[in-house]
Amino acid sequence: MDFSGKEYDRIRASRRKGSGRGRDGGGAADTSVIGRECAVPGCTEEGAYRAPKGRGKEGQYFWFCLDHVREYNKTYNYFDGMTDDDVLAYQRDAITGHRPTQPIGVRGRKARAARNTWSGMIDDPFGLFGQGDPHAAPQPEQETRRISAADRHAFEVMGLEPGASREAIKSRYKTLVKRHHPDANQGDRSSEDRLRSIINAYNVLRRAGYC
């Protein structure tokens, strides 16, 4: 093999792209652009280091010498000119690679369509695929409260159904107190006993949180 030909004189060794990054943070020197001058006006050094031009010019680069690429990288700011809200929006979109997304999960449109499809095809005793109108707001569960024997007796004394509302209990209490007060019954002892039992019943319901 003849190594004296002109073809071999033009062979140059170059660094692998992306390697050779210096401690200064500058880009790797590109030895394939020998003869390119630095982009800084008046600089005659070789522009072997590239630097991005900035937002809106992705894929475009300046070519600097080592000293000037260091200076450029110190002041480079991709978000220059953007408001804080624009920066936050950009960072959120960057999570998905700036690709459009669609809602998923139990509230997504596709999830609702899937529930409607499967709900009529399989036995769903636990309601995994939803029932009724998928757009209807969920109904709050009725709160059930266990009534003790003392509470039930207090309702009976006041002539109310167990679980009566707060307003009904207070209204009934005022009515019974007026009716059985000694001043309204000429000192009738039986009326006093009835009034005492009404007051005790009301206190039981109040302590239990019914009124």
Q: What are the average pLDDT values for consecutive 10-residue runs of the chain, which has 211 residues?
A: 55 51 50 76 90 86 92 85 79 70 56 56 57 55 74 92 92 89 75 88 92 86
- What is the predicted pLDDT for the residue at 142? 52
- CB count in 10 Å sphere of residue 195: 20
**What 3-state class would DSSP assign to 29?**
strand
**What 3-state class would DSSP assign to 61?**
strand
Query: Could you tell me the two tokens for 4?
Result: 């004296």
- What is the predicted pLDDT for the residue at 21? 46
- What is the predicted pLDDT for the residue at 84? 81
Rounded distance between C-alpha atoms, residue 211 and residue 168, angstroms: 9
CA atoms 79, 84, 90, 92: torsion sign: positive
Q: Residue 39 carries which DSSP code?
A: S
* Nearest C-alpha neighbor of 69 from the set 30, 105, 108: 30
- What is the predicted pLDDT for the residue at 6? 56
Strand segments, DSSP code E, in the chain are 49-52, 61-64
Contact 175, 184 (CB under 8 A): no
Rounded distance between C-alpha atoms, residue 81 and residue 122, angstroms: 57
- What is the predicted pLDDT for the residue at 22? 44
Rounded distance between C-alpha atoms, residue 33 and residue 6, angstroms: 20
Tokens 């943070």, residue?
A: 25
Q: pLDDT, tens digit, for every residue of 83-127?
A: 888 877 777 777 776 676 665 554 555 656 655 555 555 555 666
pTM assigned to the model: 0.34
- What is the predicted pLDDT for the residue at 88? 77
Amino acid (one-letter) located at 175: T
